Amino acid sequence: MRILYSIITIICLKSVSITSTDDFIPFYSWKSIRIKAEFHQTDLNDEEKKILEHVWSLAIQRTSEALKVPRVPRRLLLPRSNLSCERAWIIGLNKNRCASVKKLPFNQLEKCLDDFNIPSEHLEGLYEWPYQNSSISKTIIKDGDGIKDYDYILYIQSIVTERCQKDKRHLLAYAKYCKRDHWGRPIAGYVNICPNFFTSDSFSIGKAKMIALHELFHALGFTKDLFHDYQSCDLQGKCTKHVNPVKDIYYAKRLVTPKVVEMTREHFNCTKKSVLNDFGPMLQKDSNGDITSHWDSSLMYSSIMTSTVGDERVTILDKITLAAFEDSGWYGVNYDTADTFLWGKNLGCNFSLPINRCKYNDEYPKFFCKSNDIIGCHYLQRDRGVCQSDDYLGCNKLRCDRDLLNGRCFIANITIKSNFMIREKPSGRCYDISCMKNGTLQVKLGNEWINCPYSETLKLQDWEGILICPSITSQVCRDIHKQMTSYAMTTTHSFTQDDIGGPIEISIIFSGITVQQLNLNSLLEMTPNVIAIKLSRELNIKEERLTKRLLTDSNLSNSIIFKFILLPKIRDGITANEAYNILDNLIKGGKLIVKIGSFTLKGESISKRKAPTDNSIKIDSLASTAAIIGVAIACILVAAIIAFMVFVIQRRYVIMHIITRPRRLARLNNQNRREGGETSV
């Protein structure tokens, strides 16, 4: 019998990867991903640490708004490396479970980048299982406590490493996934922000935010190592990997998964039948000609997933990048969280062909340039640009040279006429602008506001030179041209297309106090109203537009989050998006200060998203309205019935009175005769 059991054991053992067999969760049950940031070793000072924590909290918040996953029940527990298990059962009751464990120090096996040791409390236990018994035969290590109420754990460091030292000039950060679940979805990741970034000339809070988001996307699965594991799953949870997700086609290697191709075609308006199924974005190549984990800059310049990340003003979270996450099969995507992406918009299939891109400088002057001495405008026209070569592009582009907070960049050489005038070439110049309610763009020249019709070149009396107005597809006044369906809010106000952008949910982080301190000083109840009054005065709007006010603690030390929904304008005033931009500039300038008792609160950062639809409120509101109408109708019916009954009773009385009148008169006459009197009628 022992010999037979030994033979079965040998047959049933094989070196395999261990996977789980949990049930598939339907897509409609997926919810916003919950990401826990865990900060480890840093070579930063206290102020830089605060910045690090701050930008990561914002990156995680935005990612949670964009991506959905099947929620991890109870706690997230990371699987151990296959290196721990020497052999696993391939059939039987304990299929895929470990039969024998390697005799190694297990803490040396659970590492990620930079020899980072994954905490043992986050890891599953290590056990040996028998072939035909459901009980564990040997416990090597017990399960850790795991991470409760999270779907992903991100380990963050900021230390000087060999990678940071090797490329100090260009490398700012790097990231990688560490662990995956049984469906293949990354559930743990590691990122290192090189400390030299915080002291570099290119540092800004806005750029740090975008770098954090970029690296988080890598750790979540946007990486060349996982492109070939991207999959499509049906409603029953049956998943099939995409066939050849990366193709060498149309002179470049492209990611050609279904949703990515659809979004790319839609963005560039590529309708050629010959490329319909393969027109995906190009992937950047390294010096050896191998693909990297980034989009190619010539097709996707300013996208969050190109290799060069800029400030938040000119770096875009685009729908094509989000489509890659949907095509992974691991994430549901909220495309409403994407920014407006205008690089190459509607320029057709040829725009992305590498053999054409340098030839088309004259056709696409807004996107490419020729001479390094040109000073023009960045293609979004938010910044002045200088023409520089791109290491990954092969052509020149206008890169940001000067940021504009309140104006826009125009190609111009316009000056007031004088006797001592020297004509200059048209170049990038900064002007204040005003976006009118009807969509008209105005530019301020001197002390005068001038209409600037889209795509026209201005030549004005008393002025020498020209000013080129932007095209209708540019970012200037882009909110004016967004189509918006009229709708009624669940409050007493109603709004139409005149209010561009609709209601938005705004979150502001204030430093200087915590919710607990407010509560101890009996200030908690009044603080949201005090902040709302301050904001309404800064914006010159009615306080009532700031609704659903909420105060919570921030992840940053000694700070709070003030969250509210800003309603659209009704008639006069500024739109919700215009109000957001004003608050953003106040915070960037360090000018948003609120006094609460003896405390001083300073606005540190601001973020926004489309105001969520509260269906329950709508339903309750409709139900309440229906109930009120029902009661009113019932009251009217009751009143009508009563009136009718009164009418009937009165009419019956009159009729009876008429019918019985002769009889009553006769009776009275007889009585009078007996009494000797008479009756008057």
Rounded Cα distance between 524 and 565, Å, is 19
Band of the pLDDT at 498, cuts 50, 70, 90?
very low
What residues contact residue 17 under an 8 Å CB cut-off, 6+ apart?
82
Instruction: Please indicate whether residue 128 is annotated as part of the active site.
Output: no
Rounded Cα distance between 3 and 675, Å, is 138
pLDDT of residue 19: 34
Task: Give the number of other Cβ atoms within 10 Å of residue 17's Cβ.
Answer: 10
pLDDT of residue 122: 96
Q: How many CA atoms lie within 13 A of 211 on its CB side?
A: 25
**DSSP calls for 606-674:** EEEEEPPP-HHHHHHHHHHHHHHHHHHHHHHHHHHHHHHHHHHHHHHHHHHHHHHHHHHHHHHHHHHHH
pLDDT of residue 664: 55
Q: H/E/C letters for each residue in 2-60?
A: HHHHHHHHHHHEECCCCCCCCCCCCHHHCEECCEEEEEEEECCCHHHHHHHHHHHHHHH
pLDDT of residue 310: 83
CB distance 563 to 549 below 8 Å: yes
pLDDT of residue 35: 98
Q: What are phi and psi of 431, to 5 degrees?
A: -135, 145
H helix or E strand, kind and range, residue 562: strand 559-566
Bridge partners (DSSP) listed for residue 402? 384
Residue 5 has pLDDT above 50, yes or no: no
Q: Which residues are annotated as a binding site?
A: 214, 218, 294
Task: Give the number of other Cβ atoms within 10 Å of residue 432's Cβ.
Answer: 13
Band of the pLDDT at 226, cuts 50, 70, 90?
very high
Rounded Cα distance between 4 and 26, Å, is 44
Rounded Cα distance between 638 and 640, Å, is 5
Q: What are phi and psi of 192, to 5 degrees?
A: -125, 125
Structural domains of the chain ordered from first start: 1-220 (3.10.170.20), 495-612 (3.30.70.960), 629-681 (no CATH)
Residue 657 has pLDDT above 50, yes or no: yes
pLDDT of residue 299: 82
Residue whose tokens read 């111009």: 412
Task: Give the number of other Cβ atoms within 10 Å of residue 403's Cβ.
Answer: 15
Rounded Cα distance between 342 and 338, Å, is 12
Rounded Cα distance between 57 and 557, Å, is 12
Rounded Cα distance between 281 and 519, Å, is 52
For residue 396, the SS3 value is: strand
DSSP structural state of residue 451: E
Task: Give the number of other Cβ atoms within 10 Å of residue 278's Cβ.
Answer: 15
Rounded Cα distance between 19 and 330, Å, is 16
User: Of 136-140, 645-649, 667-671, where does mean pLDDT reach its minimum?
Assistant: 667-671
Give me the catalytic one of 48, 65, 128, 215. 215
CB distance 198 to 51 below 8 Å: yes
Pairing type for strands 98-101 and 31-32 reads unpaired
Rounded Cα distance between 176 and 189, Å, is 6
Higher pLDDT, 511 or 12: 511
| Mean pLDDT (whole number) for 518-536 | 88
User: Of 161-175, 182-196, 403-417, where does mean pLDDT reach its minimum?
Assistant: 403-417
For residue 248, the SS3 value is: strand
Q: How far is CA 153 from the centre of its chain?
A: 19
Strands in 290-436 per DSSP E: 291-295, 332-333, 375-377, 383-389, 396-403, 407-412, 415-416, 427-435
| Mean pLDDT (whole number) for 524-547 | 87
Residue whose tokens read 């700031």: 546
Q: What is the pLDDT of residues 290-313, one digit of tens each?
A: 999 999 987 888 899 999 888 887
Structure tokens at 29: 């049950």
User: Of 6-20, 330-344, 470-484, 667-681, where does mean pLDDT reach its minimum?
Assistant: 6-20
What residues contact residue 678 under an 8 Å CB cut-off, 6+ apart?
672
Structure tokens at 148: 């409760």
Rounded Cα distance between 417 and 390, Å, is 39
| Mean pLDDT (whole number) for 544-551 | 90
Q: Which residues are annotated as a binding site for Zn(2+)?
A: 214, 218, 294
Residue whose tokens read 């803490």: 107
Q: What is the pLDDT of residues 583-636, one digit of tens each?
A: 998 998 888 999 888 889 999 999 998 887 554 434 344 444 555 566 667 768
Task: Give the number of other Cβ atoms within 10 Å of residue 675's Cβ.
Answer: 8
CB distance 27 to 332 below 8 Å: yes
What residues contact residue 220 under an 8 Å CB cut-off, 6+ apart?
63, 67, 152, 177, 186, 189, 325, 331
Band of the pLDDT at 227, cuts 50, 70, 90?
very high
DSSP structural state of residue 589: T
